[in-house]
Amino acid sequence: MTRLKLGMVGGGQGAFIGAVHRIASRIDDRFDLVAGALSSDAKRAAASAAELGIAPDRSYADFRDMAKAEAARADGIDAVAIVTPNHMHAAPVIAFLEAGIAVICDKPLCLTKEEADQIAAAVKRSKAPFILTHNYTGYPLIRQARQMVADGKLGKIRIIQAEYAQDWLTLPADPGNKQADWRTDPARAGGGAIGDIGTHAFNLLSFVTGLETEALLADLHSMVNGRRVDDNAHILLRMKGGAKGMLWASQVAVGKENGLQLRIYGDKGSIEWGQENPNVMTYSVFGEPKQIITRGGAGLGGGAGQWTRIPPGHPEGYLEGFATLYNDAADLIQGTGDGALLPGIKAGLDGMWFIGACIASSKKDGVWIKR
Amino acid sequence: MTRLKLGMVGGGQGAFIGAVHRIASRIDDRFDLVAGALSSDAKRAAASAAELGIAPDRSYADFRDMAKAEAARADGIDAVAIVTPNHMHAAPVIAFLEAGIAVICDKPLCLTKEEADQIAAAVKRSKAPFILTHNYTGYPLIRQARQMVADGKLGKIRIIQAEYAQDWLTLPADPGNKQADWRTDPARAGGGAIGDIGTHAFNLLSFVTGLETEALLADLHSMVNGRRVDDNAHILLRMKGGAKGMLWASQVAVGKENGLQLRIYGDKGSIEWGQENPNVMTYSVFGEPKQIITRGGAGLGGGAGQWTRIPPGHPEGYLEGFATLYNDAADLIQGTGDGALLPGIKAGLDGMWFIGACIASSKKDGVWIKR
Amino acid sequence: MTRLKLGMVGGGQGAFIGAVHRIASRIDDRFDLVAGALSSDAKRAAASAAELGIAPDRSYADFRDMAKAEAARADGIDAVAIVTPNHMHAAPVIAFLEAGIAVICDKPLCLTKEEADQIAAAVKRSKAPFILTHNYTGYPLIRQARQMVADGKLGKIRIIQAEYAQDWLTLPADPGNKQADWRTDPARAGGGAIGDIGTHAFNLLSFVTGLETEALLADLHSMVNGRRVDDNAHILLRMKGGAKGMLWASQVAVGKENGLQLRIYGDKGSIEWGQENPNVMTYSVFGEPKQIITRGGAGLGGGAGQWTRIPPGHPEGYLEGFATLYNDAADLIQGTGDGALLPGIKAGLDGMWFIGACIASSKKDGVWIKR
Amino acid sequence: MTRLKLGMVGGGQGAFIGAVHRIASRIDDRFDLVAGALSSDAKRAAASAAELGIAPDRSYADFRDMAKAEAARADGIDAVAIVTPNHMHAAPVIAFLEAGIAVICDKPLCLTKEEADQIAAAVKRSKAPFILTHNYTGYPLIRQARQMVADGKLGKIRIIQAEYAQDWLTLPADPGNKQADWRTDPARAGGGAIGDIGTHAFNLLSFVTGLETEALLADLHSMVNGRRVDDNAHILLRMKGGAKGMLWASQVAVGKENGLQLRIYGDKGSIEWGQENPNVMTYSVFGEPKQIITRGGAGLGGGAGQWTRIPPGHPEGYLEGFATLYNDAADLIQGTGDGALLPGIKAGLDGMWFIGACIASSKKDGVWIKR
């Protein structure tokens, strides 16, 4: 077992997606984060690196220096994660590809058509892999859905209903909100809802159906006064082969947290899946009862098991709950927490009493056993 | 940031819960697994250790040797995870506690009342912390629920309906099923469903309500011919202070994957939560509409945010989907996979086209833009 | 087509279940309500009869007079509905049975063992049918479930989990609440939650499983200070043939409106049904994905079609929505309402525009058509 | 209490919607069906009338004769229900309006713009009311939703997502299917999915939001080879005042039975409702937990109580279950059924045992009481 050495550009203190990338890289224990240009602010870059256990000589103020230096080291990084805002993707992506280092880049690809072409050219020139983290394609049931479509379980695809609705931009953004700030600035974000979340929905429907888009027709809106990017988008799709689609992307749909939903109807069957409860998908065959497919569960769901770490019924998230106990345990052991919520010996003795009392009560055909 | 050094007893090749403990320990990056007695079979212990990157000199054939050796090293482990079957908990737990090493032990505590008392005594004697991984207490909304009860949001608790139903033992167990094997052997498991899952439900209701049990009455069943432990349990509970409860634990409830559910009713309000969709809980106040509380979401759900790594609407499990992309990327980079399912430059260019086409179509008031 | 002539005892102004019986008797147009002893208060009886269009000479102050008079008439009633409180069931039931008139009686049967025996004897002596309105057995999917069990779809029944939880008695009952008043008086109601709703759950599980009860064990509670009947009941069941059950009945479960739920697990399959969304049932076969069975829908649900008036997907209740339009129309026609909520010609023209505009827009390949 | 006299045009043997109108007219006991021109086939008209208990002299072979004759009778009908296929709406509607008789007409209004104008003129000339049965506006929660929008609970409406998806036309229609036959014939139906169900969704969104449509853009499809009308429609909407909408209507969406769904998002709040579980609606206020509003239930749901016949938690449909018992009872009494599924004295005695056994067991602190 050899772990890959990972670098990161962006993702310094206060960043959201950088932390997500780091956790994701650790779960299967195949990467060690060893280098970073975590912020364009040199001080913040250094502080962030220290916090993350990156050696000072591998914390860089500039991603260009980092690409060169790491490429030159015998123990240089094997891959780099680019987790900067959209308008700062192109340059580091190209720099690392040119240095022969694999790139794992957050989505969307970049800001402009020109940048996109430059990145495409760099990918073509480089031997290093390029990966874009359209992370929703990593859900086991989404991969299972793709397989089902490919296997013809749905027949010929006719209709695609995709949506990605949130509500966090319902009000004019708080100027101090770092996440909202760049996402609502056309110069840094490109599109609004269409770029931030619409591209996820678009990617997902392509990934699952395997269909190429023929054309789209869009009606974009800025529902909030003064907003400079779209915050709601109504889009019609025509796919090659004749399927038709609707795509709704919104960041002003009150009550929606992260409502990514995909529904696909073929001439034989259909599937419906929603990201907020991702371990469950419904599958309908015309003329038969709807089936509930669970991640790794009975029937077709079993196929999803190959991308799964835990048994059916243990939702993904089970691991995070487990991790919270380990986190609290670390606090307790290091003296930075009192472990007040941790089950300890009392919980253990309680459980032993429970087992013994159940057996004793049942043996007497059901009598009350006192604690 | 200093990571804790972690050891493990049990959890060798083919084990389920050991892998879960290892992932959980990595998610927040606070532990490094550096030592282990991963199997009572010396060969398997060594092979498992090699696979996990544990140095050969810290792979032990016997947990007693490990406890001694690690306690003696300057860089010895800070904590050990005990992930053996139930009947092999007591001895290693006591050995490590006596060596002054923190113990993180899988549940239930052990097999017999005698063992439980010995462990309790060891915990009392030792300065090292003892943690029992009743992992469901780590779910953010469960911790939130506990807080709500403590804050009086439900008023005085009247009724507790707990259940934990599975179906994996519906048929006589396959003799080759390692998981089923020891769990249905009275000598190794203690109880059947009551020990394996009933204790989880019992622990959870205690954790959330904060109530002590006064008495229980149980009717245990072995539904499968020849089964030597209970596989279905119907239990009535009386709690101190007057609340009454029902607890159903079953491993023969066809269609149930991991149906742990907790419902608590007070004289003012109630909560209902199910493990299979753990990011959602309903909360009712008498005379008001039922509320849907989401992990880290609006209202009371916000309190759960302190045990949360990602925003509301991103189910726990989002991280695992993300991790699958990193895992595939590692395969691609190391040449052990072809990255067929990984989004790459094409997905990136598609997304850029999508954004541009949306804007172009909408600017012309809605016309079809071809790909 | 000949309609049956129906009489009613109880069900005067302000009564709940009498109105339900009357609507139910009209839906399939097989009964005409022509006689009644609607209240023990003669004045209220007469006023209620007038309101319901019962001729004055067939409105009786006493049910005994009614039984005699109706039995003597050539055009006397064919059947009588008994919708009085529980303690006033026995006498009218016996009187009408003795008069040779079919009896449709609300549940539970009566108040005491003695009354029950007297009724049973009267049923035995009489040629007239006796029907007890355990109305939940009339739900199409419940009848379908019974058929599925009888057909062996679930295999041998192992576990029955039944519950009926409400919250309307969470607080001490308002003394002016007619419904709560007699239901919490041991002299008029017999049991509390066990009689009012527990019997429904008990009846339902018997109806669906076809199993006889062998024994029960109960823990009854009065959660509200001063309440003289049980308001929460925890019951264990043993069925002939070996199945085990739990039954929870509660009228103090905050947030529960009318939560009647039945779950049955056999050694091959299981079903789960809840009354609050009665058109849907899940059906699991061990080792296969869970199926969603809909009333009259594809697959096994089709069997429910024989007790169904409308197609799948049109929930029962569709008819009531439809009836509300007829009710509003009657108001409009009779000048007792202004029809403000009724769709009229404007809605019709809007719909015609909608159809035409859709066709016109689509013919031009998608352009905006103005209203 | 005076019942209105009702006539019907169309709705003879084998018709679906005619039977629905008749049941709806009976539920609140305000109409008596006394006249009809139930079929254009004279023989079928007479046979249908006889079956429905319409006197032979009031069964007409032609709706024109019926309008004249009924208008001339002292006891002539007060209202007529027009339940013919779409292309046969206009003539009878106009005839009855001109005869001064109230018209209750099934939707959509008619086939062509010309017919619509003629009907509109007739409505204007006549003093008789005209009602179009967009029946989904009769659902209590839909009326409640309309009130909530009008009261400003959602703020200014921004987004409307409406859909009505079915799957019954997934395959080329069976030529013998009377329902499918005229609905897929452009000469008789007008539009396909847009007319049959799209108009319902369009009406519903107008009814609830109170907003006028400014423009629409449509993409209509005929997914099934040889189908002459649309069977899938993707529509964008612009409402006066700035709200934007999407409307999806489909009759080829595999797995959808009668999936009418309405979701409305304002700048303060949102509501989501689906017809297949019509007694429940979610309501979100920005920054607060989502609420589950039930028909007649706590909080805002209470407003729906005015259009409700039964308490919250008793789904609409409860009445139909109840009616099935009455229907079976009629069969038993008339000797046309054996009452095999009817609860009778045994169910009654079982219930009495249950109550008594519960009390006895509980009094002894929980012992098994045998049957």
State pLDDT tens for residues A104-120.
999 888 888 899 999 99
Q: Which residue of C has its CA nearest to A235?
A: C366
C-beta of residue A300 within 8 angstroms of C-beta of residue A153: yes
Which of the two residues, A182 and D35, has the higher pLDDT score? Answer: D35
Contact criterion met (CB < 8 Å) for C289 and A300: yes
What is the helix (H) or strand (E) element at residue B352, kind and residue range?
Answer: helix B345-363
The alpha-carbon gap from C204 to the nearest alpha carbon of chain B, in Å, equals 20
The upper half-sphere exposure of residue B130, i.e. CA atoms within 13 Å in the direction of its Cβ, equals 27
Q: Who's near C266: CB < 8 A, 6+ residues apart?
A: B254, C149, C154, C155, C156, C157, C158
DSSP H/E element including C220: strand C213-221
CA distance D284 to D281: 10
B254, B282, B284 member nearest C269 (Cβ): B254
Instruction: Please judge whether D298 and B289 are an interchain contact, meaning their C-beta atoms are less than 8 angstroms apart.
Output: yes
What is the pLDDT confidence band of residue A3, given thresholds at 50, 70 and 90? Answer: confident
State the number of CA atoms in the 13 A half-sphere of B330 facing the CB.
Answer: 21
Handedness of CA D351, D355, D356, D357 (dihedral sign): positive
- φ/ψ region of B291 (left if φ > 0, alpha if ψ in -120 to 50, else beta) reads beta
From residue C298, alpha-carbon distances to A140, C106, C292, C301 in Å are 28, 34, 9, 6
Judge whether B334 and C337 are in contact, CB under 8 Å: no
Interchain CB distance below 8 Å, B195 and A355: yes
Show Cβ contacts of residue B346 under 8 Å, excluding neighbours closer than 6 positions: none
Pairing of strands D130-132, D102-105: parallel
Chain D positions touching B236 (Cβ under 8 A) are 366
Q: Could you tell me whether strands A244-250 and A157-165 are parallel, antiparallel, or unpaired per DSSP bridges?
A: parallel
Q: Which residue has the tokens 């179009």?
A: D132
Cα within 13 Å of Cα(B140), Cβ side: 26
Residue pair D150/D129 in contact (Cβ under 8 Å)? The answer is no
Per the DSSP assignment, residues forming a β-bridge with B81 are B8, B104
Contact C136, C275 (CB under 8 A): yes
Interface of B with A in 45-84 (CB under 8 A): 50-53, 78-79
Confidence (pLDDT) at C90:
94
Instruction: Measure the CA–CA gap between D242 and D222, rounded to whole angstroms.
Output: 31
Report pLDDT for A148: 95
* Cis preceding-peptide flag for A108 (omega within 30 of 0): yes
Tokens of B225: 């011919």
Q: Which pairing describes strands A232-239 and B79-82: parallel, antiparallel, or unpaired?
A: unpaired
Delineate the domains of chain D, giving CATH numbers in brackets. 4-133 (3.40.50.720), 137-307 (3.30.360.10), 319-363 (no CATH)
* Token pair in block for residue A133: 């983290």
Sign of CA dihedral D166, D170, D172, D175: negative
pLDDT of res. B315? 76
- Contact criterion met (CB < 8 Å) for D298 and B292: no
> Tokens in use for D99?
């005869």
Tokens of A291: 């089936």
For chain A, positions 300-329, list CB contacts with chain D under 8 A. Answer: none
Asked if B316 and B310 touch (Cβ cutoff 8 Å), the reply is yes
Q: What's the confidence (pLDDT) of residue C166?
A: 96
Residue B40 Cα, gap to closest chain A Cα (Å): 22
C289/A282 CB distance under 8 A = no
Residue D358 has φ and ψ, to the nearest 5°, of -60, -50
Taking residue A148's Cβ as centre, other Cβ atoms within 10 Å add up to 22
| DSSP secondary structure, A119-152, as one string | HHHHHHH-SS-EEE--GGGGSHHHHHHHHHHHTT
If pLDDT is split at 50, 70 and 90, which confidence band does C219 have? very high
Contact state of B138 with A325 under an 8 Å Cβ cutoff: yes
What does each C-alpha distance from C225 to C176, C186, C222, C229 come to in angstroms? 18, 15, 7, 11
Radius of gyration of chain D from its Cα atoms, rounded to whole angstroms: 24
> Which of A163, A246, A269 comes nearest D254 by C-beta?
A269
Residues in chain B with CB shorter than 8 Å from the CB of C366 are 366-368
Choose the mutation target among C159, C219, C254, C263 for the interface with B, i.e. most B CBs under 10 Å. Answer: C254
**Helix pair A90-98, A113-125: axis angle to 10 deg:** 10
Question: Helix/strand/coil (H, E, C) string of chain D?
Answer: CCCEEEEEECCCCCCCHHHHHHHHHHHCCCEEEEEEECCCCHHHHHHHHHHCCCCHHHECCCHHHHHHHHHHCCCCCCEEEECCCHHHCHHHHHHHHHCCCEEEECCCCCCCHHHHHHHHHHHHHCCCCEEECCHHHHCHHHHHHHHHHHCCCCCCEEEEEEEEECCCCCCCCCCCCHHHHHHCCHHHHCCCHHHHHHHHHHHHHHHHHCCCEEEEEEEEECCCCCCCCCCEEEEEEEECCCCEEEEEEECCCCCCCCEEEEEEEECCEEEEEECCCCCEEEEEECCCCEEEEECCCCHHHHHHHHHCCCCCCCCCCHHHHHHHHHHHHHHHHHCCCCCCCCCCHHHHHHHHHHHHHHHHHHHCCCCEEEC
How many C-beta neighbours within 10 Å does residue D75 have? 10
Contacts of A198 in chain D (CB under 8 A): none
**H/E stretch holding A91:** helix A90-98
Of A23, A236, A332, the CB nearest to B319: A23
State the Rg of chain B over Cα.
Answer: 24
Instruction: Determine the residue type at A349.
Output: L
CB pairs under 8 A between B and D: 42
Interface contact B299, partner D, CB < 8 A: yes
Q: Which residues contact C269 (CB under 8 A, 6 or more apart)?
A: B254, B255, C153, C154, C155, C283, C284, C285, C286
Using an 8 Å Cβ cutoff, are A38 and A64 in contact?
no
Residues of D in contact with A248 (CB under 8 A): 161, 246
pLDDT at D119: 94
In total, chain C counts a number of residues equal to 371
- Average pLDDT (C241-248) is 96
Q: Are A236 and D219 within 8 A, CB to CB? A: yes
Asked if A194 lies within 8 A of B355 by C-beta distance, the reply is: yes
**Structure token pair of residue C113:** 């063992």
DSSP string, A281-308: EEEEETTS-EEEEETT-SGGGGGGGGG-
The one-character DSSP state at A155 is -
Cα Rg for chain C, rounded, in angstroms? Answer: 24
Find the CB nearest D347 among C134, C138, C350.
C134
Partner residue facing A219 (CB), from D236, D284, D290: D236
User: Closest Cα to residue C142, out of C53, C55, C204?
Assistant: C204
Cβ within 8 Å, pair B298-D291: no
Contacts of B292 in chain C (CB under 8 A): none
Q: What is the mean pLDDT of each run of 10 residues along chain D (371 residues)?
A: 89 87 91 94 93 95 96 96 92 96 91 91 93 90 94 97 96 72 72 89 94 93 92 95 96 95 97 93 95 86 75 76 81 85 81 84 89 84
The residue-averaged pLDDT of A212-231 equals 93
Residue from B212, B319, B363 whose CB has the most chain A CBs within 10 Å, to mutate: B319
Residue of A nearest to C365 (CA): A217
Q: Does C285 touch chain B (CB under 8 A)?
A: yes
Per-residue pLDDT of B31-77, as tens digits, reads 999 999 999 898 999 999 999 999 999 999 999 999 999 999 999 99
Residues 6+ apart with CB under 8 A from C224: C169, C170, C171, C172, C231, C252
**Tokens encoding A363:** 């043996």
Instruction: Flag whether residue D297 sits within 8 Å of chain B, measured between CB atoms.
Output: yes
Give the pLDDT band (50/70/90) at residue A43.
very high
> How far does CA C156 lie from the centroid of its chain?
29
Q: What is the pLDDT of residue D280?
A: 92
Q: Give residue A179's pLDDT.
A: 67
Q: What is the pLDDT along chain B (371 residues), one digit of tens a residue?
A: 588 999 999 999 888 889 999 999 999 898 999 999 999 898 999 999 999 999 999 999 999 999 999 999 999 999 999 999 888 999 999 999 999 999 999 988 888 889 999 999 999 999 999 999 998 998 889 999 999 999 999 999 999 999 999 999 999 876 667 667 767 777 776 678 998 899 999 999 999 999 999 999 999 999 999 898 999 999 999 999 999 999 999 999 999 999 999 999 999 999 999 999 999 999 999 999 999 999 888 877 667 777 877 777 777 677 877 788 888 888 888 888 888 888 878 787 888 888 888 888 988 999 999 88
* SS3 assignment, position C111: coil
Q: Is C258 on the interface with B (CB under 8 A)?
A: no
Given this model, what pLDDT does residue B164 score?
96
Q: How far is CA C370 from CA B366, C354, D113, in A?
A: 14, 10, 16
C189 band by pLDDT with thresholds 50, 70 and 90: low
Chain D positions in Cβ-Cβ contact with residue A273 (cut-off 8 Å): none
Task: Read off φ and ψ for residue D124, nearest 5 degrees.
Answer: -65, -40
Lowest mean pLDDT among A210-219, A331-340, C26-35: A331-340
Please name the residue ranges forming H helices in B38-158: 42-51, 63-72, 90-98, 113-125, 140-150
**Chains interfacing with A (3 or more CB pairs < 8 Å):** B, C, D
Length of chain A as a residue count:
371
- Comparing CA positions, the residue from A214, C244, C205, C109 lying closest to residue B371 is A214
Tokens for A114?
Answer: 């020109």
Please check whether residue A338 is in contact with residue A332, taking contact to mean a CB–CB distance below 8 angstroms: yes
Q: Kindly state the average pLDDT of the residues C283-309.
A: 85
Test C284 with B234 for CB contact under 8 angstroms: no
Q: Taking CB atoms and an 8 Å limit, are D351 and C199 in contact across chains?
A: yes
Q: What are phi and psi of C357, to 5 degrees?
A: -70, -40
Looking at the DSSP bridge assignments, the partners of residue D265 are D159, D270
pLDDT at C1 over 60: no
Which of B158, B159, B170 shows the shortest C-beta gap to C267?
B170
- Please determine, for residue C68, whether its predicted confidence score (pLDDT) is greater than 80: yes
Flag whether residue A262 sits within 8 Å of chain D, measured between CB atoms.
Answer: no
* B276 vs D138: CA distance, rounded Å: 36
Q: What is the mean pLDDT of residues A254-280?
A: 95
pTM of the model: 0.92
A293·C289 Cβ contact <8 A: yes
The token duo for A332 is 């307790």
Name the band, by pLDDT with cuts 50, 70 and 90, for residue C78. very high
